[in-house]
Amino acid sequence: MGGVGGLYYEGTSNCDIVNNIFSDNDNIGLYLGSGADVVLEYNDYGTLGGIAPGGNIGNVSINPQFVNAAGGNFRLSADSTLIGLSPRSTFGGNDLDYNNYPLGGRIDLGAYQRTIFEDGFDDE
């Protein structure tokens, strides 16, 4: 296999992999090993390897356009096409900046939610 770099999943349990960005890995962004019954929903995974997923909904393989990945800022830039890509808005909880995930509407892919227009005004 030569290394994955992003995520390797193998097992007999059902698994949903939802709302992730696997970007700029040395080899494969997401690898599904034997026995895995995986549903992929709204991920940006770069390169997919291994067995075919049981479900594949809304996934893309594009440059996520991070603000400054080299500097460790993995927030999405204002022109990223991953903003609002996912209709899966029932996560609840907070992102890594402690912003609430919206419970209605669309959400951004990845670990950070842009709060742009959340209150009707652009905060950036």
Higher pLDDT, 90 or 123: 90
Instruction: Indicate the average pLDDT of the chain.
Output: 83
What's the confidence (pLDDT) of residue 115?
A: 57
- Per-residue pLDDT at 46: 86
User: How large is the average pLDDT for residues 9-28?
Assistant: 87
Distance CA 33, CA 101 (A): 31
Q: Which is nearest to 40 in space by CA: 61, 56, 26?
A: 56
Residue 119 has pLDDT above 50, yes or no: no
Query: pLDDT tens digit string along 27-80?
Result: 888 999 887 789 999 999 988 999 999 999 999 999 999 999 999 999 999 999
Beta strands across the sheet bearing 48-50: 7-9, 30-32, 48-50
Confidence of residue 91 (pLDDT cuts 50, 70, 90): low
